[in-house]
Amino acid sequence: MARRNDHTPDELRAMALAAAREIAAAEGLRGLAVRRVAEKIGYAPGTLYNLFDSLDALILALNGETLARLGMELVRAAEGNPAGRAAALVDAYFDFVERQPLLWSVIFEHRMPGEGDLPAWYSEGLSGLIDGTVAALAPVLGDWPEEDRRPAVVAMWAALHGLSMLAVSGKLALVSDAPPRSLGHLVVNRVIGGG
């Protein structure tokens, strides 16, 4: 056996990520196994190691895609009138999370082994998300000093991540009747304003 060449490396990578996304959406990080992804795309487990360094690298790529998809929806949500943008971002965020909670939870449950230095493209994706938000909220933050904006936006994102993570893991419902989304609006209202 060998050298089927049915697909280019890029095609194979896309197939593997699509399969991984399906598994993650249905079962979360627990079901995300090399052997299952391989079986789903009709290749041997070893083949995945031609495409990714490790299962961790595959999951990182999947999370990168998930963040990029979220980013696209946030950009669309920020197109409305400036006054309602902060609220629109919060709604778009929770819409996204609620649509595929288990896929979203993989972002938080997965940790790189050892010192866990994340690759540059991951760092750039996150920075882009933050910078995009700072720019989109510029009208709302009109009177803020330049150096205060980024920390506030970072804190706002961390708060939303905290809420969604607690919600997805079932812990938020244990201590709050309020839906995660309304707590999100509360935080953003306080930290940024206009939410």
Partner DNA sequence: ACCTGAACACCGTTCAAGT
Per the CB < 8 A criterion, the answer to whether 49 and 90 are in contact is no
191 scored as a contact of a second copy (CB under 8 A):
yes
**Cα Rg of the chain (Å, integer):** 19
Q: CA 76, CA 17: separation in Å to the nearest integer?
A: 24
Query: How many residues line the site for DNA (CB under 7 A)?
Result: 25
- 24-43 b/e (C-beta count within 10 Å ≥ 16 → b): bbeebbeebebeebbeebeb
Stretch 101-160 residues interacting with a second copy (CB under 8 A): 105, 108-113, 116-118, 122-123, 126-127, 130, 150-152, 154-155, 157-160
Interaction pattern, residues 23-42, with DNA; x per rule: CB under 7 A: ---------xxxxx-----x
Contact residues toward a second copy (CB under 8 A) are 28-30, 105, 108-113, 116-118, 122-123, 126-127, 130, 150-152, 154-155, 157-163, 165-166, 169-172, 174-176, 178, 182-183, 186-187, 190-191
